[in-house]
Amino acid sequence: MNRRIAPTLILPAILASLLLVSACVTTGGGKGKGKEPDMLSGLVLDPEGKPIPFAKVSLLPQSADESAQRPPDPIPDGSRGLAVTTEGGRWIVDHISDEGGLDLGLPGGFYYEVTIYKPGFHIWRDSVLFDRGTLQVDTTLYPDTIDIEDVGNLVDTSLGETNTGTGVLRQGE
């Protein structure tokens, strides 16, 4: 006896499965029941408190925590984590990768250099110690601007005496 399952029941079940898998991938998937996933996250704002979207975030392992009871295993040179802020200015890095693209997770017991860059703003850079769980790194980026004050005529524009040099101008040199 063949039973037919209505297509209206199959589609919601497939979508629910995909959403569950997607949630595990984007959050780093907890490492066991009730454990918080390992990640660095943050919020990037401008001086007025507005979120800065599409800023580039780079995470570079620097050195192991010397005060740790058990030193962590070394991380391959060239390893890094990357993210881009959302329209709301939020970012998450839940793993670093080596130069070949191998996912190394987010090893604890290391100082990580966090760099945030957005054209039109000063680069923000700091070193943070990460052990495990979630470490929140909120920042304010300041605009790349120069304030110029007009203080009147400080440059003498009169010609007066001029110095001239001698030389030869040749085309093509």
Cβ-Cβ contacts under 8 Å for 28 (sequence gap 6 or more): 37, 38, 39, 94, 95, 106
Q: Is residue 90 part of a domain?
A: yes
pTM of the model as a whole: 0.64
Q: Is residue 129 part of a domain?
A: yes
- If one counts the domains in the chain, the total is 1
Q: Is residue 161 part of a domain?
A: no
Q: Is residue 89 part of a domain?
A: yes
pLDDT in tens, 36-49: 789 999 999 999 99
Q: Is residue 9 part of a domain?
A: no
CATH of the domain at 91: 2.60.40.10
Q: Is residue 1 part of a domain?
A: no
Q: What is the domain extent for residue 104?
A: 35-140
pLDDT in tens, 4-27: 555 555 545 444 444 444 444 444
Q: Is residue 30 part of a domain?
A: no
Instruction: State both tokens at 16.
Output: 């629910």
Q: What is the DSSP letter of 83?
A: E
